[in-house]
Chain A
Amino acid sequence: MVIRGRVWKFGDNIDTDVIIPARYLVTIDPAELAQHVMEDIDPEFAGKVQPGDIIVAGRNFGCGSSREHAPIAIKAAGVQAVVAESFARIFFRNAINIGLPVVEAPEAVAETETGDVIEVDTDAGTVRNTRTGKVYQSTQYDEFIQQIIRAGGLMQAVAERVKARQQAG
């Protein structure tokens, strides 16, 4: 899968409290959560982000809470993928589970700016910056994680297992 989009760049340790502040966790409606995405790091972000954009960030993206509302808010805001130097582990898992592509590409992050257009190739494990033409390596998913992605998310994968189990009696 190749994802092409315009970049919004953020720094290190972008935590789940700034991605979606707890005061908005009284709903599980993705559209409502998306209205407040990244609000405490950039109050204007929800108004600026366009469907198809890509978030690029530094180390430890998504650190903090286990709230799945964080990747849900990002995805519902139309963000196609997050590219970071590294991800906090719960956020990474949550993103894969709900079908938000998350890619680790430290060198690409260092040389990417807000407004650049990049191409993320999740199969080839590359990130290409169309402004500079440079291509960077990104870490590739394990086969196990690829299975979740191919199924369309964790619950789709689980549903297949539950169905197989029921058929087996």
Chain B
Amino acid sequence: MGMTMTEKILARAAGRRSVEPGEIIEVAVDLVMTNDITAPLSIAEFKKLGLERVFDPQKVVFVPDHFVPAKDIKAAEQSKVMREFALAQGAIYFEIGRAGIEHVVLPENGLTLPGQVIIGADSHTCTYGAFNCFATGMGSTDIAAAMALGTTWVRVPPTIKFVYTGTLPPDVGGKDLILYTIGQIGVDGALYAVMEFTGEVIDDLPMDDRIAMANMAIEAGAKTGIFGFDEKTREWLARVTDKPYEPVDSDPDARYQQVIEFDVSNLRPLVALPHLPSNVYPADEIEDMPIDQVVIGSCTNGRLSDLRIAAEILKGRQVHPRVRCIVVPGSQEVARQATREGLADIFLEAGAVFSTSTCGPCLGGYMGVLAKGERCVSTTNRNFRGRMGHRESEVILAGPAVAAASAVLGRVASPAQLD
């Protein structure tokens, strides 16, 4: 009987020839990651074991990104706990000004490779599935255990195969594909399963769009999302690493819990209205919904291609007088390239804020917190109640094209609605 790519990765990491969905196995981890919110708990738990060293400092990564540059004293204390532990351990540590958002930074540094098992104390760790690896989010205690043992336990998840057919229309990208998918299956439509993304549309899809899709697999309740390895993956990785890796592919006779096919030829740019990522509608069907803020960035859509899409729309236009538009590059590298290409100037001339890299606004941390009754179109990944600020504020999820068009028009809008 054949195996899916996920089963092959897990079998290899467990030192087994094969595994089956439902089995609980122990796997070796290639990378363990935490951030400034989750690390302090992990470190406190790790210290209870009385161990001096993490299992392998070169496989343990710390990224300050959520409340940095420190938003207040308590946030600064948390970052300090993490920084001191990371440096004392000789672990991999990405300081602000030289890094950015974890899920943008780790791939940029060649740390997320095909065939690997990666766990992180952040639910969007599933992002790395775009690189043909098994990557999943866990809590701080699980991460503490993995920092000690170099292993973790997983229940082998079943896989749901998604097949995207047809031709992708203009202004429609990876964010629209994943919002459409979540809209179809619901926020627990892939509960505990792996979402394997395939089909002719995926074959042609750029890496940044694949990353945005894998990033939001958790929003359908999935254990992770994963893509096959192809020339696009190889080229992307060749720019960032010369380390060897072992890609995996699903066998033709692999077993799937379900196979779901979508013809996406007629897809339009989408939005997810409050308060669930599954509350999905075409952007051009939303009439007369004024907005107060737009955020373009995050681990979902803070990459260079996202900023290029937004800049193309904002070039020669102005952010609506009533709207605050905040552009947050996903990493220092993205910020540098956006500056070099003139994108930063386009945003600044349009009347937008061009910020340093941070997760801040996405989770209502800082740098764009919403007041009571305010509404924000955001390229982030969650629109739960109170996510970006006051519990009576609203978040509307969209891709960078819809976000930029909405910033100009001052209401939820599709790029086609611009003159």
Query: CA–CA, A23 to B24, complex, Å?
Result: 35
Say yes or no: A162 contacts B40, CB within 8 Å: no
**Cβ of B364 and Cβ of A68 under 8 Å apart?**
no
B74 CB-CB contact with A under 8 Å: yes
Is A124 part of the binding interface, using a Cβ–Cβ cutoff of 8 Å?
A: no
A70 to B160, CA, bound (A): 28
A111 to chain B, nearest CB (A): 21
**A94 close to B (CB within 8 Å):** yes
A89 and B221 within 8 A (CB)? yes
Complex contact B51–A162 (CB within 8 A):
yes
The answer for the CA separation of A60 and B138 in the assembled complex, in Å, is 16
- Contact in complex: A68, B38 (CB < 8 Å): yes
Q: Is A135 among interface residues, defined by CB-CB distance under 8 A?
A: no
Query: Which residues in B have some Cβ–Cβ distance to A below 8 Å?
Result: 24, 37-38, 40-41, 44-45, 48-51, 66-67, 72, 74-75, 77-78, 120-123, 125, 137-142, 144-145, 148-149, 153, 187-188, 191-192, 218, 221, 223, 276, 363-365, 369, 382, 384-387, 391
Residues of chain A lying within 8 A (CB to CB) of residue B66:
22, 25
Asked if A153 meets B24 with Cβ closer than 8 Å, knowing A59-B188, A89-B192, the reply is: no
Q: Given A22-B364, A26-B78, verify A158-B41 contact (CB < 8 Å).
A: no
Q: Quick check: which of A2-10, A13-21, A49-57, A73-81 contacts chain B, the rest being far away?
A: A13-21
Task: Kindly identify which residue among A27, A40, A158 contacts B49, using a CB–CB cutoff of 8 Å.
Answer: A158
Please determine whether A28 and B44 come into contact, CB atoms closer than 8 angstroms: yes
Can you list 15 A-B contacts (CB < 8 A)? A15-B382, A17-B364, A21-B386, A22-B387, A27-B74, A28-B41, A63-B188, A66-B123, A88-B188, A93-B139, A93-B142, A97-B142, A98-B141, A155-B45, A155-B48
Residues of A that sit less than 8 Å from B by CB: 13, 15, 17-18, 21-23, 25-28, 39-41, 43, 59-60, 63-69, 71, 86, 88-90, 93-94, 97-98, 142, 144, 153-155, 158-159, 161-162
Contact B138 A88 (CB under 8 A): no
Whether A68 lies near B141 (C-beta < 8 A) is: yes
Q: Is the CB of B123 within 8 A of A65?
A: yes
Cα of A17 to Cα of B382 in the assembled complex, Å: 9
In the bound complex, what is the Cα–Cα distance between A89 and B218 (angstroms)?
10
Set B145, B188, B363: member contacting A154, Cβ < 8 A = B145
Picked from B24, B141, B187, B391, the residue with its CB within 8 Å of the CB of A144 is B24
Residue of B nearest to A15 (CB): B384
Contacts of A21 in B (CB 8 A): 364, 386, 391
List of B residues within 8 angstroms of A27 by Cβ: 74
Shortest C-beta distance, A88 to chain B (Å), equals: 6
Is there contact, CB below 8 Å, between B145 and A26? no
Nearest A residue to B25, CB-CB: A144
Q: Given contacts A13-B276, A22-B364, A66-B38, is CB(A155)–CB(B141) below 8 Å? A: yes
User: Which chain A positions have C-beta within 8 A of B125?
Assistant: 66
Q: Which of B51, B140, B276 contacts A68 (CB 8 A)?
A: B140
A41: B residues at CB distance < 8 A: 385
User: Given A67-B37, A67-B38, A89-B191, do A17 and B148 touch, yes or no (CB 8 Å)?
Assistant: no
Q: B142 — which chain A residues lie within 8 A by C-beta? A: 93-94, 97, 154
Find the B residue at minimum CB distance from A26. Answer: B74
Chain B residues near A59: list those with CB within 8 A: 188
> Given the complex of chains A and B, what is the CA–CA distance between A158 and B122 in angstroms?
21
Evaluate contact between B221 and A17: CB separation under 8 angstroms. no
Q: Are B384 and A18 in contact (CB under 8 A)?
A: yes
Name 13 extra pairs, CB < 8 A, besides A39-B391, A64-B384, A158-B148. A17-B386, A28-B41, A60-B188, A66-B121, A67-B37, A68-B41, A89-B192, A89-B221, A97-B139, A98-B141, A153-B141, A155-B49, A162-B51
The answer to whether B49 touches A159, judged by C-beta atoms less than 8 angstroms apart, is yes
User: Chain B residues with Cβ under 8 A from A97's Cβ?
Assistant: 139, 141-142
Q: Determine the distance from Cα of A15 to Cα of B123 in the docked complex, in whole angstroms.
A: 12
Instruction: Report yes or no: B78 in contact with A68, Cβ–Cβ below 8 A.
Output: no
A126 to B221, CA, bound (A): 26
User: Of the candidates A23, A28, A43, which one forms a contact with B364 in the assembled complex, judged by CB atoms under 8 Å apart?
Assistant: A23
Question: Contact between A88 and B221 (Cβ–Cβ < 8 Å)?
Answer: yes
**A-B pairs, 9 with minimum CB distance:** A26-B74, A94-B139, A40-B386, A68-B139, A22-B363, A60-B188, A97-B141, A66-B123, A17-B384
CB distance from A20 to the nearest CB of B (A): 11
Residue of chain A at shortest CB distance from B189: A60
A7 to chain B, nearest CB (A): 22
- Write the nearest CB–CB distance from B68 to chain A, whole angstroms: 12
Most buried by B among A26, A90, A155, A158: A26
How far apart sit A104 and B192, CA to CA, in the bound complex (Å)? 14
Asked if B223 and A89 make an inter-chain contact with CB atoms under 8 angstroms apart, the answer reads yes
* Contact call B48/A159, Cβ cutoff below 8 A: yes
Interface-central residue, A67, A86, A142, by most chain B CB under 10 Å: A67
Bound-state CA distance A60–B364 (Å) is 22
Whether the Cβ atoms of B187 and A66 lie closer than 8 Å is no
Closest to A148 in B: B153
Query: Across the interface, which residues of B come within 8 angstroms of A90, CB to CB?
Result: 123, 137-139, 218
CB-CB under 8 A for A26 and B67, given A155-B45, A155-B49, A162-B51: yes
